[in-house]
Amino acid sequence: MMNLAHRGASEYAPENTLAAFYKGLEMGASGLETDLRLSRDGIVFLLHDERLERTTNGTGRASEYTWKELQELDAGSWFAAAYAGERLVSLETFLHFFARKPIHLALEMKEEGLEEDTLRLLAKYGISNRVTITSFQQGILRMVRRLDSAVRIGFLVKQYTEEILAELKEISAQQICLTAETITKDGVNRLKAAGLEVRAWRVRDEALMHHCLECGVDGMTINFPDKLTEALRRVL
């Protein structure tokens, strides 16, 4: 069961910062989820939104800034004064700190154009088998599969349809990522019988977390990995 700290332990620390990732691991997460974007000068880095306002003291589209400029931003104060000075993190730095740990990494590609560099970095750190590349965008996943026939792929969707299952087969995806509220036990069984891993996302509260566990999902991204760790401990 993959307990993936969603943008790190984002309930307790500013999302997609080293503080949030380390907190997730302290809370027993077995993996980390994060979002990939591209700076103006082509550096792959971690940010959820297209724009900077919500999670940094910057303004505008992140893609209009060089990595040097992005590194100057404060990515922690918006969350709490105690996190002032947290910085945006490049994929290379993220891998430097976390690739050698025995954990799973779920890397969500938020935009086109970073597929090749991301795969190159994964190869450099030799961790392709402990990574799942995910995206809401089919085109990105198709490109990833063209570039790498082995890397694990997860398709992020709201709920599954026959077309989505056909697409998953087409790109030899290992995983389907469904919104927690659409998950049912029958659905999970059917998807598993089709050879897919089922991972939940948007697990808003503990009730949904328990629902997903009862339905037998293979993992979930969660803002409060401590609560999932505790629930799993009780089951075992």
- CB contact set of 147 (below 8 Å; sequence gap of 6+): 115, 116, 119
Residue nearest to Ca ion (CB): 108
Position of tokens 């993936």? Answer: 4
Q: What's the closest the beta carbon of residue 127 comes to Ca ion, in angstroms?
A: 19
For residues 177 and 191, which CB has a smaller minimum distance to Ca ion in the complex? 177
Contact between 74 and 57 (Cβ < 8 Å): yes
Q: What's the closest the beta carbon of residue 107 comes to ligand G3P, in angstroms?
A: 10
Chosen from Ca ion, ligand G3P, none, partner binding at 79 (C-beta under 5 to 8 Å by type): none
For residues 69 and 138, which CB has a smaller minimum distance to ligand G3P in the complex? 138
- CB contact set of 99 (below 8 Å; sequence gap of 6+): 105, 125, 126, 127
Query: With CB under 5 A as the contact rule, which of the stretches 29-37, 53-61, 68-76, 226-234 interacts with Ca ion?
Result: 29-37
- CB contact set of 146 (below 8 Å; sequence gap of 6+): none
CA distance 190 to 196: 9
Contact between 108 and 135 (Cβ < 8 Å): yes
Q: Kindly give the interhelix angle for 138-147 and 115-125, rounded to the nearest 10 degrees.
A: 50
Quick one: CA dihedral 45, 48, 50, 52, positive or negative?
negative
The reply on whether position 108 binds ligand G3P by CB under 6 A is yes
Chosen from Ca ion, ligand G3P, none, partner binding at 201 (C-beta under 5 to 8 Å by type): ligand G3P
* 162-181 positions binding ligand G3P, by CB under 6 A: 177
Chosen from Ca ion, ligand G3P, none, partner binding at 218 (C-beta under 5 to 8 Å by type): none
The reply on whether position 11 binds ligand G3P by CB under 6 A is no
Q: What's the closest the beta carbon of residue 136 comes to ligand G3P, in angstroms?
A: 7
Tell me which of 40, 48, 87, 142 binds ligand G3P, using CB under 6 A.
48
Q: What angle do CA 184, 187, 188 make, to 5 degrees?
A: 85
The reply on whether position 88 binds ligand G3P by CB under 6 A is no
The reply on whether position 197 binds Ca ion by CB under 5 A is no
Amino acid letter, residue 91? L
Q: Side-chain half-sphere of 126: how many Cα atoms within 13 Å?
A: 3
For residues 51 and 190, which CB has a smaller minimum distance to Ca ion in the complex? 51
The reply on whether position 15 binds Ca ion by CB under 5 A is no
The reply on whether position 51 binds ligand G3P by CB under 6 A is no
Applying CB under 5 A, which residues contact Ca ion?
35, 108
Applying CB under 6 A, which residues contact ligand G3P?
6, 33, 35, 48, 108, 156, 177, 201, 221
